[in-house]
């Protein structure tokens, strides 16, 4: 499938593959077209390699460092990082910010606490099984979408309020557009908006 062996540009958002799910691959393949830096958790390495993807950075437990080095011999050059407090996301974000990256695409179940910490350091987009989450840092969001498209809003503060146009709430945090056209969301704090991908 996808393979890349080109010099990286820190302006291009990196990819962190911290979990493997079949639903992720079409989005990952699209992002690989931009030749990003690819960071992979040790538990995902085998499947990523089977897909022919060049791994730039691997994140593993310190006790697995030597075996991961052996597994990635033909990926040279590759950087291997020891997990900080056993956490792939924070280890990867720390590495990317020190290297001057401005953005990252993260593939893993959405975690509100980790997402807020990550976004304090670097612009991040999260992909889970159903949604692509983008942070609205202007407390507002506006986008043209088709009728009946669903999206979700995740708050960053307790008791956060929303004013949403051209959409109705169908369950807590989930909305559906009423007709083709622009939806707008205004809030009293930053929020995550999740759209199907």
**Does residue 123 register a pLDDT over 90?**
yes
The average pLDDT across 111-137 equals 92
Pairing mode of beta strands 38-41, 140-145: unpaired
**Does residue 5 register a pLDDT over 80?**
no
* pLDDT > 70: percent of the chain: 95
Specify whether the CB–CB gap between 20 and 42 falls below 8 A.
no
Sign of the dihedral defined by the CA atoms of residues 24, 38, 114, 30, in that order = negative
What b-and-e string marks burial along 59-90, b requiring 16 or more CB atoms within 10 Å of the CB?
bbeeeeeeebeebbeebeebebbebeeeebbb
* pLDDT > 90: percent of the chain: 86
**Does residue 107 register a pLDDT over 50?**
yes
The average pLDDT across 144-167 equals 95
pLDDT given at position 93? 96
pLDDT given at position 86? 87
pLDDT given at position 10? 65
pLDDT given at position 85? 87
**Does residue 92 register a pLDDT over 90?**
yes
At 3, is the pLDDT very low, low, confident or very high (cuts 50, 70, 90)? very low
**Does residue 83 register a pLDDT over 60?**
yes
At 66, is the pLDDT very low, low, confident or very high (cuts 50, 70, 90)? very high
At 9, is the pLDDT very low, low, confident or very high (cuts 50, 70, 90)? low
Q: Which two structure tokens, joined as six digits, stand for 144?
A: 């043209």
At 28, is the pLDDT very low, low, confident or very high (cuts 50, 70, 90)? very high
At 84, is the pLDDT very low, low, confident or very high (cuts 50, 70, 90)? confident
pLDDT given at position 174? 96
The average pLDDT across 115-144 equals 93
**Does residue 122 register a pLDDT over 90?**
yes
Cα distances (Å, whole numbers) of residue 121 to 102, 106, 148: 9, 14, 35
**Does residue 196 register a pLDDT over 70?**
yes
């Amino acid at each position: 499938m996808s393979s890349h062996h080109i010099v990286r540009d820190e302006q291009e958002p990196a990819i962190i593959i911290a979990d493997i799910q079949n639903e992720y691959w079409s989005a990952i393949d699209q992002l690989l077209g931009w030749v990003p830096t690819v960071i992979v958790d040790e538990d995902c390495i085998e499947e990523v390699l089977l897909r022919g993807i060049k791994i730039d950075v691997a994140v593993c437990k310190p006790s697995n460092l030597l075996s991961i080095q052996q597994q990635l011999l033909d990926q040279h050059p590759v950087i291997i990082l020891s997990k900080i407090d056993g956490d792939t996301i924070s280890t990867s974000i720390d590495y990317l910010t020190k290297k001057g990256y401005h953005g990252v695409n993260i593939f893993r179940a959405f975690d509100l606490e980790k997402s807020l910490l990550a976004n304090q350091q670097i612009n991040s987009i999260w992909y889970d099984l159903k949604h692509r989450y983008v942070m609205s840092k202007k407390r507002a969001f506006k986008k043209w979408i088709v009728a009946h498209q669903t999206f979700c809003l995740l708050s960053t503060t307790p008791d956060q309020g929303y004013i949403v146009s051209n959409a109705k709430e169908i369950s807590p945090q989930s909305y559906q557009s009423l007709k083709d056209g622009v939806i707008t969301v205004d809030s009293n704090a930053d929020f995550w908006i999740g759209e199907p991908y």
